[in-house]
Amino acid sequence: MKKTPIVFLHDYEKDAITSQVRPGCEWVLEGLGSATIKFDGQAALFKDDKLWKRYDRKLTKKAQQAFNRGQDLGPVRMELFKDPPEGFVPCEESPDPVSFHWPGWVPVSKDNPADKWFIGALSNTAEPLVEGATYELVGPSLALNIYGLPKHELWRHGKETVNLPDRSFEAMEKFMKENEVEGLVFHHPDGRMAKIRRKDFKLFWVQEDTRKPPKRRSVTM
């Protein structure tokens, strides 16, 4: 799963999203592909008959501090990054040369205490997992349990679609104001994806909001 771009460009000086479409995402406003609910949890992949969890390979502490200061780290070099866990498979051959973001996957293991929620979700998920499909781990230990679940589950990405005929900036903002969801993910028929989130419009979501989260979602289909 590659990093999904946000539909609209961000003005970093004003720290606000703009109505200008990100180059390469024009297809979203043209109405191509489907719009689906973005889930808030931890991403997973079912491949080769086993479950993998999302892992972002980080810069070393020294390199990260230099990056935060705006220092030029030069060309991408492996010594800038921490050693990944065993079995790490990157989504890209090399990190993003600007953000140094390097996402990938590591296999879930029943012997790793950190994976206990994934292991539990495998037993709690009603439908058989689909080879090559990605999922979101949701449940009591994630995002303040925004979905009010009694146990951990794996929700397949792209399964919950939304009818959004108007995909203008204003229409997306209105949808976010009227629906208690983290965001939307758009899927092009050729496999491309793009996203938009509540927080892009400076609307509260569970991770930034200290108010009590809603007991259930309300989505206008």
The Cα–Cα gap between 105 and 93 comes to 13
Answer whether residue 210 is part of any domain. Answer: no
For 42, which DSSP code?
E
Answer whether residue 204 is part of any domain. Answer: no
As a 3-state breakdown, the chain gives helix, strand, coil percent values, each rounded to 5, of: 20, 25, 55
Answer whether residue 138 is part of any domain. Answer: yes
What pTM value is reported for the model?
0.83
Query: Do 25 and 39 form a contact (C-beta atoms < 8 A)?
Result: no
Answer whether residue 151 is part of any domain. Answer: yes
Environment class of 186 (CB within 10 Å of its CB; exposed 0-12, middle 13-18, buried 19+) = buried
Among 4-18, 101-115, 130-144, 160-174, the minimum mean pLDDT is found in 4-18
The boundaries of the domain holding residue 50 are 42-56+105-156
Confidence of residue 96 (pLDDT cuts 50, 70, 90): confident
Half-sphere exposure of 166 (CA within 13 A, CB side): 8
Answer whether residue 206 is part of any domain. Answer: no
Answer whether residue 100 is part of any domain. Answer: no
Answer whether residue 133 is part of any domain. Answer: yes
pLDDT in tens, 146-183: 899 999 999 999 989 999 999 999 999 999 999 989 99
Domain count for the chain, please give it: 1
| CA-based nearest residue to 41, from 122, 136, 129, 120 | 136
Confidence of residue 1 (pLDDT cuts 50, 70, 90): low
